[in-house]
Homo-oligomer: A and B are copies of this chain.
Amino acid sequence: MRPNAIAFDAYGTLFDVYSVSALAEDLFADKGAQLAVIWRDKQIEYTRLRTLCDQYADFWQVTGDALEYACEALGLDLTAAARDRLMGQYAALSAFPENVDQLHRLKEAGITLSILSNGTPWMLDQAITASGLGGYFEHVLSVDAVKQFKTAPQAYQMGPDALGCAAKDILFVSSNCWDICGATWFGYHTIWLNRYGHPMERLGVAPHHIGSSLKDVADYALGITA
């Protein structure tokens, strides 16, 4: 396909959410990597439970709550100072190394680039700036505007509304397979950026294409890969 617009998921797709692991390892010796995984899983779980029950709290709140749960689950003493440092790191995540070159290719080709994320506007601003991705995105859409997290249809609807075209004409990119399943069900043209070689979710729905880096996404969007 040759899309007019691309909507990128942010966390895990553009920004490396496990880049907090290094700091976590500094703070909690050999449990940092495990903490990062539980933190991330619990964060996502809370977005779903809150959306299912219409009990929205924003992603910054949910991220802090998930961190506290993860520390308690691992028996780690989360001091106020450690909490501030980990949350601060989450607000300034690293981008994946190939990002800038590939976003540049896409932008040069005249494709409208956007982000559609569970993050708050403030978190997205911080992450975009910290990772040097400023200037690439015409729309930075936060589900905070609709108070429902992905994979709720109301969250995905923000893309067509902002971009002025049908979901099927927008290429939706995410490294999170569950996000890809939700977006495909919603009607987007989808590419799963399977960065970690995970199995496909068994949900009876499949992405239109699968890649392993943002270069694969750019090649696909530019028609270099069928």
Interface of A toward B, CB cutoff 8 Å: 45-46, 48-55, 57, 65-66, 68-69, 72-73, 151-153, 178, 181-182, 185-186, 198-199, 201-205
Contacts and interface: CB of A to CB of B under 8 A. Distances in A.
**Copies of this protein, total:** 2
B182 A52 contact: yes
Contact of A48 (B49, B73, B205): B49
A54 to B, nearest CB: 7
B203 A153 contact: no
Given A49-B203, A53-B152, A54-B153, 15 more contacts: A45-B178, A46-B201, A48-B52, A49-B151, A49-B181, A51-B52, A52-B52, A53-B181, A53-B185, A53-B186, A55-B185, A55-B205, A66-B202, A68-B202, A69-B201
A49 B199 contact: no
Contacts of A52: 48, 51-52, 151-152, 182
A53 B202 contact: no
A153 B53 contact: yes
A181 B55 CA distance: 11
CB-CB nearest 5 A-B residue pairs: A65-B202, A72-B199, A48-B48, A53-B185, A69-B202
Contact of A182 (B53, B181, B199): B53
Contacts of A202: 46, 65-66, 68-69
A40 to B, nearest CB: 13
Contacts of A55: 185, 203-205
Contacts of A201: 46, 49, 69
A91 B59 CA distance: 38
A55 B183 CA distance: 12
A151 B51 CA distance: 10
A45 B179 CA distance: 12
A68 B205 CA distance: 15
